């Protein structure tokens, strides 16, 4: 029998805030956090960090001469990691790190490529600062950690795959503690243009442009946000434990298009089924859906849930209607939301969907889904310590 894997610290920086109090109050406010911003030549809805967090990011950048050349994605990850560890007695040096990104150093890539097209030359910093390995390695430098450093891109489920890696290394006795998560700063002209080319980006004019879990919508309503979110995993349960990973699963499927998903989201069905089997349970109290706000993506995930849970339908919610899609960070933001719901014994509703049943007297188990381009999915079940 494997010892349980617990989450002993978690933190994020996003439009929701940068502290447990701020993030939870944002959820309780039930207010979408979108703003109109000019990116390139057009105005679009996005979510971005607050002026207060931006100030902290600027101070961080000024604290080390090497940080001046780093991408915003890396700096957000450093800031979130420092927050995660500031109030714990964990030994930072013994931490292994796996923080990934879907797009990576997007802003720097665009800047350096523009410079190259204009001058035929690039900065000597171009290669070392745009490699994906920048994130975990610079977080490790800031924390003084001396363990493993892994970066990967598994599109929108990146942070959840990092979490799977942490579980595997801890269960194999190859690590003592693992810092896992995702970071994304993709509010750039080229990235927005990519989502618009796929016809995924919201064209809504109202203040709730991302209709995540609005299953009757006829148009895609994805909206992007910037964020970083990380968690510390440890083996066993201690006084630090915030939540226990009761089950985990993953799945993939053959796709017909680079951005497609099957009608009944076979990959999500596989991931949820495996997680339930690992947890030795047949249902959960609630599910935080991936639900990016796209027509096919939202409905396919709902179909997968209906098929798997049948009449034992859990309560369903998401957070993208409030904070948008933060790509690699999105799965960990949902994990954070699940932990806070368990801690406060309060279910955060999604205004675009009415659950057919009420919250149980005690919220004990929450399943979190993440899905990425390429037909991959991850499901994690959390429970109270």
- pLDDT tens track for 109-149: 999 999 999 999 999 999 999 998 899 999 999 999 989 99
Does residue 59 have a pLDDT over 90?
Answer: yes
Helices (H), 69-228: 72-85, 106-119, 126-130, 134-143, 158-171, 189-197
Element (H, E) at 380: strand 376-383
Q: Which two tokens stand for residue 199?
A: 């016809």
Round to whole Å and give the CA distance between 319 and 290: 8
Round to whole Å and give the CA distance between 199 and 217: 14
Name the band, by pLDDT with cuts 50, 70 and 90, for residue 359. confident
What is the side-by-side strand order in the sheet with 224-225?
35-39, 42-47, 224-225
Q: Which two tokens stand for residue 141?
A: 């430098």
pLDDT in the model for residue 167: 97
pLDDT in the model for residue 84: 96
What is the side-by-side strand order in the sheet with 243-252?
149-150, 95-100, 177-184, 227-235, 5-13, 243-252, 376-383, 365-372, 286-288, 315-317
- DSSP code at position 359: P
Name the band, by pLDDT with cuts 50, 70 and 90, for residue 258. low
pLDDT in the model for residue 88: 78
Per-residue pLDDT reduced to its tens digit, 149-158: 999 999 999 9
What is the mean pLDDT of the segment spanning 298-313?
A: 94
Round to whole Å and give the CA distance between 16 and 27: 8
Nearest to 227 by CA among 281, 142, 282, 156: 156
Say how many CA atoms lie within 13 Å of 19 toward its Cβ.
8
- Domains along the chain? 5-383 (3.40.47.10)
Task: Say what the pTM is.
Answer: 0.97
Name the band, by pLDDT with cuts 50, 70 and 90, for residue 256. low
Does residue 354 have a pLDDT over 60?
Answer: yes
Beta bridge partners of 367: 287, 381
What is the mean pLDDT of the segment spanning 78-92?
A: 88
Round to whole Å and give the CA distance between 17 and 9: 16
Round to whole Å and give the CA distance between 118 and 112: 10
Per-residue pLDDT reduced to its tens digit, 328-350: 999 999 999 999 999 999 999 99
């Amino acid at each position: 029998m494997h010892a349980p894997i617990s989450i002993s610290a978690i933190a994020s920086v996003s439009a929701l805030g940068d502290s447990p109090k701020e993030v939870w109050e944002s959820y309780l406010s039930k207010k979408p956090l979108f703003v109109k911003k000019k990116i390139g030549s057009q105005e679009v809805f996005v979510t971005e960090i607050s002026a207060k967090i931006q100030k902290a990011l600027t101070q961080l950048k000024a604290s080390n001469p090497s940080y001046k050349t780093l991408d915003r994605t890396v700096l957000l990850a450093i800031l979130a990691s420092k927050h995660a560890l500031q109030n714990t007695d964990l030994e930072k040096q013994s931490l292994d790190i796996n923080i990934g990104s879907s797009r990576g150093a997007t802003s720097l890539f665009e800047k350096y490529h523009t410079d190259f097209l204009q001058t035929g030359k690039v900065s000597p910093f171009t290669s070392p600062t745009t490699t994906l390995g920048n994130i975990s390695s610079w977080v490790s430098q800031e924390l003084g950690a001396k363990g493993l450093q892994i970066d990967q891109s598994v599109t929108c489920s990146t942070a959840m795959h990092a979490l799977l890696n942490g579980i595997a290394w801890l269960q194999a006795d190859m690590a003592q503690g693992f810092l896992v998560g995702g970071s994304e700063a993709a509010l750039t002209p080229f990235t927005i243009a990519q989502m618009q080319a796929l016809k995924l980006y919201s064209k809504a004019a109202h203040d709730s442009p991302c209709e995540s879990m609005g299953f009757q919508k006829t148009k895609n309503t994805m909206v992007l946000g910037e964020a970083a979110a990380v968690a510390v995993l440890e083996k066993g349960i201690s006084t630090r434990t915030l939540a226990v990973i009761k089950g985990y699963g993953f799945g993939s499927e053959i796709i017909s298009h680079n951005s497609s998903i099957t009608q009944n989201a076979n990959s999500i069905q596989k991931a949820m089924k495996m997680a339930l089997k690992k947890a030795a349970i047949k249902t959960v109290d609630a599910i935080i859906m991936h639900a990016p706000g796209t027509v096919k993506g939202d409905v396919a995930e709902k179909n997968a849930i209906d098929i798997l849970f049948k009449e034992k339908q859990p309560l369903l919610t998401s957070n993208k209607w409030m904070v948008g899609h933060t790509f690699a960070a999105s799965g960990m933001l949902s994990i954070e939301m699940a932990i806070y719901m368990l801690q406060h014994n309060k279910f955060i509703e999604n205004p675009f969907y009415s659950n057919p049943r009420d919250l149980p007297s005690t919220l004990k188990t929450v399943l979190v889904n993440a899905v990425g381009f390429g037909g991959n999915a991850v499901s994690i079940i959390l429970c109270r310590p």
